[in-house]
Structure formats: C-alpha cells, structure tokens
Structure 1
Amino acid sequence: MAKLLYAFSCSVDGFIAGPGGDMSWLTPYLGPDPLVDELIPRIGALLVGRRTYGGDDPHRGTEGEGKAFGGGWEGPQFVLTHRPAAAAPDVTFVGDLEEAVTAAKEAAGGKYVNVLGAGIARQCLEAGTLDEILALPVPVLLGDGVRMFGHPGGRTIRLEVLRPNWYRVVR
C-alpha cells in the first residue's frame, strides 16, 4: 500500500520557503543529490497544496507540463484546493483532503505519495495520514519565512529514525 511521505528541502533553521513563500533561496543549492535520485523512482504520485502548485518554485515553468523535481519526475498529481487552476496533464484538483489522499494513494500503487507544501503536510499530520518525513537540510539560515512545521501553542509529534534525515511518524 502507498505511504504518504513529506520530503522537503529546508534551511538549517527550519524554513522551507522564505518570506512570502519565496523559494528562490533554494536555486543555488539545486543539483545532484544521491538521496533525491534514489527517491524519485519510488514516487508514484504527488499530493500538492494549492499555494505550492501555483507558487514560487525554483523549478518554475515545468509544473504546467505535469513535471516535478525540475522535470525529473512525471506522473499523477493531486492538488488539494477549492480554487482549481487551468487544466494540466496528469493534474487533478480535489476539494477534500480525504478524497485527495485516497486518490493519490490509489494512483501511486505501492509507491510513495510525495506531499508537497507545508500546509497540506500539516493537514495530513493532523488527520493522521502522514507516514514518513524526509528532511533535506540546506546549508543556509533564512531567519524568516514558511516553517517546515508550525502549530500555534506547540504540539509534539514523535518521530522514529529510519535512516539519517528520514523518519516514520509515530501514532
């Protein structure tokens, strides 16, 4: 059965995007990464937040073609939104989290559903559907922006180490 994986790059101080969702900070750090190269063929579908789908991606320009990871991956994408965008190949807009997770898992087969976007990852954590987290720290401090995870008032979520930077969510 497919598992939901939140794989992301982040600054050492825990930000996945700069102020206003700016992703341009990541561009100088993109390049060959053996862990990402190993992960890409294990991804069967994407579950994407609407802001991430239409946001300031360092690979901007490939998302309309249904290509993620700078064109290194192709397949079905499920965008959680109440504001569908223009149709794109292999992109399905879904208005309900449970429906989006179910459809993405079905499309992924036995592979991972890669979650893209802090907001949707947070919703999956709260719904108990997120299985694993892969953090790819980048050697930079941003100081402000979109946190990898935030919960007003705090919340502890236990993680089990599977391998360096790769964790299982403990329920």
Structure 2
Amino acid sequence: MAKVLYAASISLDGFMAGPGGDMSWLTPYLGPNPQVSELIPRIGSLLVGRRTFDGDDPHKGDEGEGKAFGGGWEGPQYVVTHRLPDQNLPDITFVDDFASALHQAKEAAGDKYVNVLGASMGRQCLEAGELDEIFVCIVPLLLGDGVPFYPQLGTIKLERLSQTGTESGTNLWFRVG
C-alpha cells in the first residue's frame, strides 16, 4: 500500500518558496543529492496543489523546466484545484476534491510513495491524518519571508528516520508520530 510523503527543500528559516512563490533561490542548490536520487524511483504518483502546479520553477530556463524533479521523474500527477482546466494534459489529472485526489494518487502509486508537493497539500494531508513521512532538505540560506513549510500547526511528534548532508544542504527524514 502506498505511503504519503511530504518532500521539499526549505530555507533554514523554514520557507519553501520566497515572497510571491519565488523559487529562483533554490536553483544554486539543485546539485547532486544522493538521498533524492534514491527517492525518485520510489515515487509512484504526485499529489500537487494548484498554486504549486502553476507556480515558479527552480529549473526555469533549463531542459528540466516544467517537469517533475527537473525531468528526473515521470508518472501520474493529481492536482487539487477548484479551477478545472478546459484541456487535459498527459499524466495529469485535475481533481476538485482533496480526499478524492489523495485516494486516486494512492491507488496510482501502488506500493510506492505518493509524493506531496505544496504547503497546502502537506498541511491538508497532516490534518487528515494521512501523512506518513516527511523528507526535507534544509538549504543553507535564510530567506526571511515567503511561503512557510508548515503554516499555523500545533505540536506534531516526529520520529527521525535518517539524517544526511551534502554541499547543498542537510537532509532530514521523519515518520509522522
């Protein structure tokens, strides 16, 4: 059965995007990360918030622009939105209900991870009791403002599964308690 994983790179002060959703700050830190390379083939589907889907891309201007993990992953994506598009896109399903999108993403993932993208999706998964694990790469940078990784949450107990480091940052992997 699929596990639900919220994975993101964040600044040391806890922001996953800069003001206005700016992701250009992340581009210099997209270097090799063995733990991310090991994770990507274990992802079976993506659950994506609409703002994240429409948002800024740290791969802007290179061949990975507009592709999941800069082109390192392909597969089914479920975008939660109240603004359904007129046209269909390959491997992308737009769903107007969080619970339905999560259910579809879990089915599509099989025994792999549903990788959650976007602060709102991460929060909704946690609030629904559906988040199994969190993987975060803490980048050595202070943004000072932007989109927080987890806005307005109470205390949540986590169990650390691993901690590794690269030149690009510190990787922390947790099980949600």
SS of 2:104's equivalent in the other structure is helix
Q: By how many angstroms is 1:2 displaced?
A: 0.3
Aligned pairs for 1:149-168 within 5 A: 149-151=150-152, 154-164=153-163, 165-168=172-175
Aligned pairs for 1:19-30 within 5 A: 19-30=19-30
Q: Distance in 1 between matches of 2:88 and 2:123?
A: 26
Structure 2 stretches lacking a partner, 5+ long: 164-171
* TM-score, normalised via structure 1 length: 0.93
Q: Distance in 1 between matches of 2:33 and 2:48?
A: 22
Identity of aligned residues (%): 68
Q: Distance in 1 between matches of 2:42 and 2:65?
A: 20
Structure 1 stretches lacking a partner, 5+ long: none
Q: By how many angstroms is 1:62 displaced?
A: 4.0
Letter of the aligned partner of 1:98 in structure 2?
A: A
What is residue 88 of structure 2 aligned with on the other side?
87
SS of 1:105's equivalent in the other structure is helix
What is residue 110 of structure 1 aligned with on the other side?
111
Aligned pairs for 1:1-171 within 5 A: 1-60=1-60, 62-63=65-66, 67-85=67-85, 86-151=87-152, 154-164=153-163, 165-170=172-177
SS of 2:2's equivalent in the other structure is coil
| CA deviation vs aligned residue, 1:78-97 (integer Å, no higher than 9, x gap) | 00001123421100001111
Count matched residues. 165
| CA deviation vs aligned residue, 1:5-42 (integer Å, no higher than 9, x gap) | 00100001111000111111101111211011000000
| CA deviation vs aligned residue, 1:131-161 (integer Å, no higher than 9, x gap) | 100010111110111110011xx51111111
* TM-score, normalised via structure 2 length: 0.90
Structure 1 stretches of 4+ with a deviation exceeding 6 A read none
Q: Which segment is superposed worse, 109-118 or 22-31?
A: 22-31
